[in-house]
Amino acid sequence: MIQVISLTVLLIAAFSGAAETSGSHQSCSKDQNPLILPAHRWSCSAGAPLEITTHTLLDSLPLDEVKDNSVRTVRRCAFSQSTPTPLRGALQLAALSKDVLENVLELDESVMQNEDVVQFLSGGKLFLGSFPLAHRYGGHQCSVCYHSVWLLGRAAGRWKGTFTGKGERWELQIKGSGKTPYSRSGDGRAVLRSSVREFLCSEAMHFLGIPTSRALSLVVSEEAVWRDQFYNGSVRKEKGAVVLRLAPSWFRIGSLEVLTRAGELDILRMLLNFVIDQHFTAIKPNAPNKYVAFFSAVVNETANMIAKWMSVGFAHGVCNTDNFSLLSITIDYGPFGFMEAYNPNFVPNSSDDEGRYSIGAQADVGLFNLQKLLEALLPVLSLDQRSQAEQILEEYPQIYHRRFHEQFKAKLGLLGDEEDDAYLIAFLLKLMEDTGSDFTMTFRQLSEVTLLQLQNNSIPQELWALWDLSSHEYFSDWVKLYSQRIGSQPGDSEETRTGRMTAVNPCYVLRNWMAESAIRKAENNDFSEVALLQQVLTEPFVKQMKAESAGYSSRTPAWASQLRVSCSS
């Protein structure tokens, strides 16, 4: 197994050595089926009705012959037809992404006046042309000592259809809409707290510039859902909720693994060809090496995605192969967390006792998952192609380290490449680790402080993260090296450096305490903080008065010190 030196180990080692179409806007008529939402009032900004379709998926990939939601072992297909189970009780549209509505789906905000809109967004009614599907996939779990595999198929949500607008293809999916053939012992529901977190984080990550799925809406129900949040026997009643989310594709590494393990190599080729044709258009369909080219693209973009995660201090929490997209976008938000005090062993998931998915391990986990992808591809590769793919995988550590350093050089405002840049980054992270400095705000406040203030150690008191950092005995040594590096950049002024750094170092990320505060209010039908966070996180690089008043760039409040999230969160 190739070892990727985890990002922090690599950097600390450096320091010690020296002192991550088919939809169309065609006209369509009413459908009298009570499960179909008429499209005549869902108008695009251009005025034409919106049609959702699943034709491309269904024409290209096999469908389960059984036509119900009964839980069973499914074979010889990519999807099962699976009708959503409507939420019971009064429904409330708790949150909506105007950006997704208008700029992705190209719908006018007036569509929200449709009396049936909440039913559509929750899965209670289906949009004209949609054909709800549950996807069959499996997955591997990575650990230091072992790995396990489940291959019965799973479904986090249902495909509602495919939409194409502005030349982009999006697959719509509802999460929390009831049982599917893959639910096993689960009820197929999602609870309010996890749905709030997914809605807010997927949108927040988009505006941070991280490849991600999107979320259109959050619908809340009074239907009782029973959950043991921390798996300790404490079951409680919670509110049900549904998130309608979008991605260019929901296929993941586990989509291929389940087919290889089942020996369904004809369907494996079908799925690979579909994904390449739809999403990897630079690869020629008849190219003899197209599967190797596909693997190379996924290796490169997975390294890029994880490096971007690291640049904002994001830990996914459950990096199983079934949660790793073939398009290398962030999907399936569960027990994620944004690191506060810098700690390479930060684990957001209280269920992860072994720390297998700590923030510092994510690069290695990415390698593990790519190895599982390669294993899934082996039956369709020749011996020579296998050798090529293995060589590509061996290059992953170098690709990741290069992408990581690109991200962190930008965060420090460094231009060009200097031999000692890796050491400068490693030195800073070691100071942050020793002092427990806040990850997000240390970089943000470095963007705001002047070099003269750093050199004179006259840091304004409101720059609290830098105050923490400056307590380190080697802080002045780092400042000297940093000042020399910045000063060596010809034509670079304080103003341009500040502008460059504030554009990549956010003021605001979705810290767990912020999400928890919004969730507690939402559980009492107060969605004001969900709305506030949604607004703030659409401009994470810009200081905002409401956000400052809410303390979103301040120290973590004392009450939040014991917060935990789990796979049920």
Q: Is residue 322 flagged as an active site residue? A: yes
Task: Tell me how far apart the alpha carbons of residues 509 and 310 are, in angstroms, rounded to a whole number.
Answer: 13
What is the token pair recorded at 20?
């991550």
Burial 495-533 (b: 16+ CB within 10 A, else e): eebbebbbebbbbbbbbbbbbbbbbebbeeeebebbebb
Alpha carbon distances (Å) from 8 to 12, 15, 433, 434: 6, 10, 10, 13
Nearest to 313 by CA among 294, 282, 336: 336
Give the angle 114-119-125 at the CA atoms, nearest 5°.
Answer: 105
- CB-based contacts of 97: which residues, under 8 Å, 6+ apart? 199, 203, 214, 215, 216, 217, 534
Residue 395's identity, in one-letter code, is E
Nearest to 336 by CA among 314, 352, 358, 351: 314
* Given the residues 64, 322, 364, 468, the one annotated as active site: 322
Quickly tell me which residue has 């912020």 as its tokens.
Answer: 514
Inter-residue contact 362 to 315 (CB < 8 Å): yes
Number of H helices, E strands in the chain: 20, 14
Nearest to 350 by CA among 512, 196, 198, 209: 512
First to last CA, the chain: 33
Task: Tell me how far apart the alpha carbons of residues 349 and 538 are, in angstroms, rounded to a whole number.
Answer: 25
Q: Cite the beta strand spans of 103-234 per DSSP E.
A: 126-127, 133-135, 139-141, 148-150, 158-165, 168-175, 190-191, 214-228
Would you name the residues annotated as active-site residues?
322
